[in-house]
Amino acid sequence: MVTMSDVAREAGVSVMTVSNVLNERLPVGAPTRARVLAAVESLGYEVNLTARHLRAGRTDTVALIVPSFHDYFGEVADEIAPLVEAHGRHLVLERTSASPEHELEAVSVARLQLYDGVLLSVAGMDPEQLGRVRTSKPIVLLGERDVPPHFDHVRLANEEGARLATAHMIERGSRRILALGCTLDRAHMMTSDRRAGWESAHREAGLPVDERYVVPIATYSSHTARTTLLDVIDSGLPFDGIFAATDVIALGAVAALADRGLRVPDDVQLAGFDNLEVSSFVPPGITSVDPNHRGVAQHAVGLLHRRMAGAVGPAEHVVAPVSLVVRGSTRGGR
């Protein structure tokens, strides 16, 4: 077991200096502080930064670490917060901006001692980096990434959701459907899975799969989606439906179609993914895959709570079911 004395020896300082750094009691020079924290990290010393607030080694705090607080992640946080609080704990939000460096810092040994458990959505770290994270604190991963098998993981049924949305438009007459914001690149698991669902719907309907209709975009913003779709329209590629990989992309598609005088759903049917609140207000209302925020939150918080209570056993990998919310952007919706 690594002790504070080991950290002091590694950093070349006194035990008191280590204590002052970890408990933030007295000012310590930046170079010395950096050496101490580096020693903590390299030795894997698990410090208790909030000891004076603990009861039986608990901080009564759970961290939700996400790439951003906008759109999908904001709605997930709204579902997670009351569930965490119902277990008598506080929820702390951390934003990583999808930076691998920020994600690694968020799950560093020193940082994890602030929490009883962590809900982590990884967007920057690759599986190899994530696999090197070792801690006694429970971590449940959220999101659409390939993850090391020893982590508990809750994710969406991305492929099934995309299949539902695409099949819905095929049933209502579309035969040439763009997969806007999707990709063939498995490095982007979420949009790759959604592309696979788009493809499955075509195969099930006996329609050809034409990769010209898989249209990746540079950034997942409405502005980029709008300009990308305008380029597709102007290229002359015929289409009568759009499956947008996210609702944010679908919003950009609505704008591009309006720019070129195309009517939704008369000329082009449109479906998105995420069922953001704004999608019900943008005329004519965007048909969208509901990612089951509540179900994701319940699975993730329930699993984390069981681990924090001492449950052991193999890592659990949960796929939360999704459903399709039909609105006016597809024929027969309202």
Q: What is the CATH number of the domain that holds 22?
A: 1.10.260.40
Whether residue 334 is contained in a domain is answered as no
Nearest Cα to Cα of residue 141 among 202, 290, 287, 129: 129
For 287, half-sphere exposure in the C-beta direction (CA atoms, 13 angstrom radius) is 28
Residue pair 322/275 in contact by the 8 Å Cβ criterion: no
Contact 185, 245 (CB under 8 A): no
Based on the domain organization, do 146 and 192 belong to the same domain? no
Do 179 and 224 fall within a single domain?
yes
The pLDDT of residue 52 is 46
The boundaries of the domain holding residue 17 are 4-47
Q: Please, where are the H alpha helices in the chain?
A: 4-11, 15-23, 30-43, 71-86, 100-106, 109-112, 127-131, 158-171, 189-204, 222-235, 247-259, 293-308
Q: CA nearest 142: which of 114, 117, 105?
A: 117
Read off the pTM. Answer: 0.76
Beta carbons within 8 Å of 64's beta carbon, 6+ residues apart: 77, 80, 91, 92, 93, 94, 118, 119
Could you tell me if residue 235 is inside a domain?
yes
* C-alpha span between 181 and 190 (Å, rounded): 10
One domain for residues 218 and 263: yes
Contact 125, 100 (CB under 8 A): yes
Number of domains in the chain: 3
Question: Rounded to an integer, what distance in angstroms lies between the CA atom of residue 130 and that of residue 65?
Answer: 14
CATH code for the domain in which residue 317 is found: 3.40.50.2300
Task: Please tell me whether residues 263 and 179 are part of one structural domain.
Answer: yes
Strand-strand pairing, 287-290 and 269-273: parallel
Within-domain flag for 69: yes
123 Cβ neighbours under 8 A, 6+ residues apart: 67, 96, 98, 103, 143, 145
Which H helix or E strand runs over 220? Answer: none
Q: CA angle 76-78-80, nearest 5°?
A: 70
- Distance CA(102)–CA(124), nearest Å, equals 9
- 181 within some domain: yes
pLDDT at residue number 24: 64
Give the pLDDT of the chain (334 residues) as one tens digit per residue: 677 778 888 999 887 788 778 766 567 888 998 998 999 888 888 755 455 454 446 788 899 998 887 777 888 888 999 999 888 888 888 888 888 888 888 888 778 888 999 999 988 787 788 888 878 889 999 987 778 888 999 999 999 999 999 999 999 999 999 999 998 776 678 899 999 999 999 999 999 999 999 999 998 899 999 999 999 999 999 999 999 999 999 999 999 999 999 999 999 999 999 999 999 999 999 999 999 999 999 999 999 999 999 999 999 999 999 999 999 999 986 6
Both 68 and 181 in one domain: the answer is: no
175 and 236 belong to one structural domain: yes
Statement to judge: residues 129 and 194 lie in one domain? no
- Is there a domain that residue 328 lies in? no
How is residue 124 written in tokens?
């920057």
Residues 103 and 121 in one domain: yes
Whether residues 254 and 166 fall in one domain: yes
Check residue 49 and give its pLDDT.
46
Interacting residues of 281 by C-beta distance below 8 A, sequence separation 6+: none
Task: Please tell me whether residues 128 and 190 are part of one structural domain.
Answer: no
Residue 327 lies in a domain: no
Token duo for residue 311: 């449950």
CB 130, CB 143: distance < 8 Å: no
The verdict on 162 and 267 lying in the same domain is yes
Say yes or no: 263 and 189 in one domain. Answer: yes
